[in-house]
């Protein structure tokens, strides 16, 4: 059997591990991630607490495992929401063109002009800070950039002769869209979605950091990182391990995204 | 002329691609005497461009010089110091490239661009330079040289830009002009004007020309000697007449055989009702619309009427901007005409859904660019089989059998169905496009410049295939092309278009042997006619050599 490409191998291992950890955390963690223990607060990594404990004596490893499930779940759903929302808007806008397109895009560009996190903050104020509020707010905040990219791709694809060929064949506009335009948007979309996964993971961390994320005591990587700030001098592991988790996840997602794009695009096959 | 010392001597030149070690130019030798015009002919991948560019040290970084010497004016170029090389380029050797759209800097005034070379290589003051430039612009046929001096390149057409490019090169009166497919991007009439201008200008200044082209006819017309290249090797070189009349190498023969030729006119059954008829077709392109402005639209077709009988091949010819492609798209139903009527089997197609659907299933199209007309994410089997989706009452097994049959017909048998377009060559892709167009067994096929993107020998094969399929299935065809040679080979009837109007219409023999309209005569004078000789060679002749010429320059 042929060995998978190195980027798929490394990315897959990282993300696979993450998935397993997230799944396992639902059933078992070394300690209860919420159990306070004032005798063992700010304990350094040891045989008992592999990654140490935080200011309330909660086990960092257990909290990271539980946090993985929350953070990854939020990021996944947010990316899915942003990509589907943006794709629908972009496809529609690029396909109808005319004044409808111009109006939608003017609105879209106005949204793009805001930093995503600012927009999400505003939306969070409306929908309320909880897990699904975050997903909704971030999903809407990141949809405009997807819409832009999809619309651009649709516009350039429309001019290609294979779209004319499909119309000459007698295919309906809807079929042409689904069969010829959408699949050709997938390559730019995968690239965007993977990097977006990273942005969202960071944005969720930032929101938690600002105190607008998933409310404590439930652990997410973001609020763990945020909570570590006052103790950075005495308990450096509190910041390092959540940060490391975020970085490794980003690395894994990006590598996997690259591999996925190569796999999905027939032109890339065998190019290596 | 051959007794004098050659101006350029290339000896045993071998170039290799660094990483893969593939030899792209293999032991190539040729020479150019002062004032002589030499042509290098070959198809893509023959190494002709690399060989010529190596003369001035213009080779891509990945390509390495393995061996050989290049002597220009007695000096070895391959070992020349970069500074000396720069002084020689421009001052003694000029280059004209294929793409007039990109060879001039779009953000620089034409006057400034022309001045650049002069300032670098000649000692002249600003007024003297200006004088020289204006003279040269006038010489190359720019009507308002003062205006051109302060204009940007985008304000000129492709042909005009190529003249300006030529002017900028010839200003320095180089000893050698390298012309790499200088007219390939232009249409036939403009092509001839630019070539003629180039030959005149170089003759006046005693400049030698190394002309690189895939077009054997054009090279033979203007060059005294021809070098034929194939896959990095020089297969044959000699005087133009000898190469044409008595080709020695099989590849040269193949090239000659691939040049379009006329076959006796076909007898078509006389039927009263045309299959497709177009009556007074008008197409307007809407102007750009923004939030605050609305620009004036442009009329692309001014009431076109034509008809295609069952089994007939009707060609539409014309230069760029004549509206022939728009006509094809309108007839294919890709754009909505502003006026006029299209009838299929006597029924107007826009009056009822049933009539339109009948037309839709029976009218198919082959597009110009095989790189853009196939969805890159679909396999050949999926691409070719797609039109069958809309055929009612055809079983899966039957569809599969039809797919196999059609793939076989276009010569893409075993294993091609699983492959993707990017794995295929241009010719194979166009075969796929043809297969897709005929799989529903349509009665009418529109072919929009189907072979213009292909190499000479591949073009001949695809045309042959197309003619064969047309004969076998008897579909009618509207063949849109700017290439009169191809048109002469395939058509029963020819329609000549200019500026959105039909200027002449007739059977192929009428149009080619007794053209009446000036524009037709001009088109014809730009392409060679061919006569086969006994030795497997050909003799070229030029129709109406006097037509166009001077007037063409004034009108271009």
CATH superfamily of B8-258: P-loop containing nucleotide triphosphate hydrolases (3.40.50.300)
With cut-offs at 50, 70 and 90, classify the pLDDT of residue B551.
very low
Between B473 and A194, name the one with better pLDDT. Answer: B473
Burial class (CB in 10 A: 0-12, 13-18, 19+), A53: buried
Closest CA to A261 of B361, A253, B214, B190: A253
Q: How far apart are CA A263 and CA A257, in angstroms?
A: 10
B212 phi, psi to nearest 5 deg: -105, 125
- pTM for the full predicted model: 0.80
Burial class (CB in 10 A: 0-12, 13-18, 19+), B343: buried
- pLDDT over 90 for what percent of chain B? 28
Give the nearest chain A residue to B328 (CA atoms).
A168
User: Is B376 within 8 Å of A266 when comparing Cβ atoms?
Assistant: yes
Tell me how far CA of residue A125 lies from CA of A111, A212, A258, B469, B551, in angstroms.
Answer: 17, 9, 36, 68, 75
Q: How far apart are CA A120 and CA A230, in angstroms?
A: 26
Q: How is residue B295 written in tokens?
A: 């620009």
User: Is A180 within 8 Å of B374 when comparing Cβ atoms?
Assistant: no
3-class DSSP assignment, residue B317: strand
Give the nearest chain A residue to B420 (CA atoms).
A266
Size of interface A-B (CB pairs under 8 A): 65
**pLDDT tens digits along B115-154:** 888 888 888 888 888 888 999 998 888 888 888 888 888 8
User: Is A167 within 8 Å of B334 when comparing Cβ atoms?
Assistant: yes
Q: If interface means Cβ-Cβ distance under 8 Å, which residues of chain B face chain A?
A: 289, 291, 329, 332-334, 357, 360-361, 363-365, 367-369, 372-377, 386-387, 389-390, 420, 422, 433, 436
What are the strands of the beta sheet with B347-348, ordered from one edge?
B298-308, B276-285, B339-344, B347-348
Q: How far apart are CA B252 and CA B72, in angstroms?
A: 28
Provide the pLDDT for residue B392. Answer: 84
Q: Is the pLDDT of residue B226 over 90?
A: yes
**pLDDT tens digits along A2-29:** 567 788 888 888 888 888 888 888 888 7
With cut-offs at 50, 70 and 90, classify the pLDDT of residue B2.
very low
Alpha-carbon B247 to chain mean position: 24
Provide the pLDDT for residue B496. Answer: 94
How confident is the model over A41-66, as a mean pLDDT?
80
Contacts with B387 (C-beta within 8 Å, 6 or more apart), sequence order: A169, A170, B364, B436, B439, B440
Omega prior to A56 cis, within 30 of 0: no
> Contact, B431 vs B384, CB < 8 A?
no
Q: How far apart are CA A81 and CA A79, in angstroms?
A: 5
Give the nearest chain A residue to B288 (CA atoms).
A98
DSSP B263: -
Provide the pLDDT for residue B394. Answer: 85
CATH topology of domain B310-338+349-525: Rossmann fold (3.40.50)
Burial class (CB in 10 A: 0-12, 13-18, 19+), B548: buried
Q: Which residues of A touch B361 (CB under 8 A)?
A: 170
Q: Which residues of B touch A171 (CB under 8 A)?
A: 386, 389-390
Q: Which residues of A touch B367 (CB under 8 A)?
A: 161, 164-165
Q: Is the pLDDT of residue B321 over 60?
A: yes
> Contact, B495 vs B315, CB < 8 A?
yes
Domains, chain A, in order of start with CATH, read 21-264 (1.10.3720.10)
With cut-offs at 50, 70 and 90, classify the pLDDT of residue B158.
confident
Give the nearest chain A residue to B440 (CA atoms).
A169
DSSP B479: E
Q: Which ranges of B92-140 would DSSP assign to H, the alpha helix?
A: 110-121, 126-139
B104, β-bridge pairs: none
- Decide the pairing of beta strands B176-180 and B23-32: unpaired
Closest CA to B70 of B83, B57, B81: B57
Low-confidence winner among A165-169, B117-121, B159-163, B296-300 (lowest mean pLDDT): B296-300
Contacts with B177 (C-beta within 8 Å, 6 or more apart), sequence order: B93, B94, B95, B96, B169, B170, B198, B202, B207, B208, B209, B210
Neighbouring C-alpha atoms within 13 Å toward the C-beta of A70 = 26
Domain coordinates in residue numbering, chain B: 8-258, 310-338+349-525
Between B546 and A169, name the one with better pLDDT. Answer: A169
How confident is the model over A41-50, as a mean pLDDT?
75
Q: How is residue A256 written in tokens?
A: 């996997």
Of B357, B373, B376, the CB nearest to A267: B376
Provide the pLDDT for residue B383. Answer: 93
Which H, E and C letters describe B382-425, residue by residue? HHHHHHHHHCCCCCHHHHHHHHHHHHHHCCCCCCHHHCCHHHCC
User: Is A170 within 8 Å of B357 when comparing Cβ atoms?
Assistant: yes
Q: How is residue A69 written in tokens?
A: 């499930």
Chain mean pLDDT for chain B: 85
User: Is A170 within 8 Å of B360 when comparing Cβ atoms?
Assistant: yes
> Contact, B216 vs B256, CB < 8 A?
yes
Q: How far apart are CA B511 and CA B506, in angstroms?
A: 6
DSSP B377: T
Provide the pLDDT for residue B548. Answer: 44
Q: How far apart are CA A82 and CA A98, in angstroms?
A: 24
Provide the pLDDT for residue A264. Answer: 73
> Contact, B445 vs B438, CB < 8 A?
yes
User: Is B377 within 8 Å of A265 when comparing Cβ atoms?
Assistant: yes
Low-confidence winner among B101-110, B228-237, B298-307, B456-465 (lowest mean pLDDT): B101-110
Q: Which residues of A touch B374 (CB under 8 A)?
A: 162, 165
Q: How far apart are CA B317 and CA B325, in angstroms?
A: 10
A92 phi, psi to nearest 5 deg: -60, -50
Q: Which ipTM score applies to this complex?
A: 0.76
């Amino acid at each position: 059997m042929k060995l998978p490409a190195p980027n798929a191998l490394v990315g897959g291992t990282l993300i696979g591990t993450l998935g397993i950890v997230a799944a396992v955390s639902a059933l078992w963690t070394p300690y209860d991630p919420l159990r306070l223990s004032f005798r063992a607060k700010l304990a350094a990594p040891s045989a008992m607490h592999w990654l140490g404990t935080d200011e309330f004596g909660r086990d960092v490893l257990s909290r990271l495992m539980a946090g993985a499930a929350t953070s990854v779940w939020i990021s996944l759903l947010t990316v899915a929401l942003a990509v589907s929302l943006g794709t629908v808007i972009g496809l529609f806008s690029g396909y109808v063109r005319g004044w409808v397109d111009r109006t939608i895009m003017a609105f879209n560009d106005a949204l793009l002009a805001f930093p995503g996190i600012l927009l999400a903050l505003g939306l969070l104020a409306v929908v309320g800070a909880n897990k699904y509020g975050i997903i909704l707010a971030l999903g809407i905040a990141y949809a405009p950039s997807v819409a832009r990219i999809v619309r651009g791709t649709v516009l350039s694809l429309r001019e290609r002769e294979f779209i004319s060929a499909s119309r000459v064949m007698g295919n309906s506009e809807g079929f042409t869209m689904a069969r010829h335009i959408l699949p050709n948007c997938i390559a730019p979309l995968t690239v965007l979605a993977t990097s977006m996964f990273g942005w969202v993971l960071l944005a969720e961390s930032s929101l938690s950091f600002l105190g607008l994320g998933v409310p404590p005591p439930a652990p997410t990587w973001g609020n763990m990182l945020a909570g570590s700030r006052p103790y950075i001098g005495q308990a450096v592991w509190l910041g390092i391990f959540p940060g490391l988790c975020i970085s490794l996840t980003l690395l894994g997602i990006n590598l996997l995204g690259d591999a996925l794009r190569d796999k999905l695009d027939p032109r890339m096959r065998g190019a290596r | 002329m051959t007794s004098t010392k050659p101006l350029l001597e290339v000896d045993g030149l071998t170039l290799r691609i660094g990483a893969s070690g593939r030899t792209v130019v293999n032991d190539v030798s040729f020479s150019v005497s002062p004032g002589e015009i030499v042509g290098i002919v070959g198809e893509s991948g023959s190494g002709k461009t690399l060989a010529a560019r190596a003369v001035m040290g213009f080779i891509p970084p990945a390509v390495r010089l393995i061996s050989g010497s290049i002597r220009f004016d007695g000096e070895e170029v391959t070992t020349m110091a970069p500074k000396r090389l720069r002084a020689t380029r421009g001052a003694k050797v000029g280059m004209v490239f294929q793409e007039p759209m990109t060879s001039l800097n779009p953000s620089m005034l034409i006057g400034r661009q022309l001045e650049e070379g002069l300032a670098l290589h000649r000692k002249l003051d600003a007024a003297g330079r200006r004088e020289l430039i204006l003279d040269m612009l006038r010489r190359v046929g720019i009507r308002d040289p003062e205006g051109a001096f302060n204009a940007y390149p985008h304000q000129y057409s492709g042909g005009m830009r190529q003249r300006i490019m030529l002017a900028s090169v010839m200003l320095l009166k180089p000893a050698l002009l390298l012309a790499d497919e200088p007219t390939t991007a232009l249409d036939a009439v403009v092509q001839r004007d630019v070539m003629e201008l180039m030959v005149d200008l170089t003759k006046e200044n005693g400049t030698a020309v190394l002309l690189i082209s895939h077009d054997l006819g054009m090279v033979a017309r203007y060059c005294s000697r021809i070098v034929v290249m194939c896959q990095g090797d020089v297969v044959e070189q000699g005087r133009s007449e000898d190469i044409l009349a008595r080709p020695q190498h099989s590849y040269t023969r193949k090239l000659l055989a691939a040049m379009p030729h006329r076959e006796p006119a076909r007898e078509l059954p006389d039927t009263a009702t045309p299959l497709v008829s177009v009556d007074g077709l008008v197409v307007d392109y809407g102007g750009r619309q923004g939030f605050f402005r609305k620009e004036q639209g442009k009329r692309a077709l001014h009431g076109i009427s034509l008809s295609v009988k069952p089994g007939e091949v009707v060609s539409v010819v014309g230069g760029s901007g004549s509206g022939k492609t728009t006509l094809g798209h309108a007839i294919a139903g890709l754009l909505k005409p502003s006026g006029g009527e299209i009838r299929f089997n006597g029924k107007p197609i826009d009056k009822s859904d049933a009539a339109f659907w009948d037309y839709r299933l029976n009218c198919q199209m082959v597009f110009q660019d095989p790189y853009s007309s196939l969805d890159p994410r679909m396999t050949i089997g999926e691409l070719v089989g797609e039109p069958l989706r809309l055929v009612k009452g055809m079983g899966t097994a039957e569809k599969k059998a039809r797919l196999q049959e059609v793939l076989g017909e276009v010569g893409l048998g075993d294993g091609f169905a699983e492959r993707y377009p990017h794995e295929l060559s241009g010719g194979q892709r166009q075969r796929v496009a043809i297969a897709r167009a005929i799989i529903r067994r349509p009665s009418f096929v529109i072919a929009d410049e189907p072979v213009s993107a292909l190499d000479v020998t591949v073009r001949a094969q695809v045309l042959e295939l197309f003619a064969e399929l047309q004969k076998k299935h008897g579909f009618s065809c509207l063949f849109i092309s700017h290439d009169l040679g191809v048109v002469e080979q395939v058509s029963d009837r020819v329609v000549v278009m200019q500026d959105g109007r039909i200027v002449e219409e007739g059977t192929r023999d009428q149009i080619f042997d007794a053209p009446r309209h000036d524009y037709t005569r001009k088109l014809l004078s730009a392409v060679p006619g061919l006569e086969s000789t006994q030795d497997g060679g050909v003799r070229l002749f030029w129709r109406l050599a006097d037509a166009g010429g001077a007037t063409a320059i004034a009108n271009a």
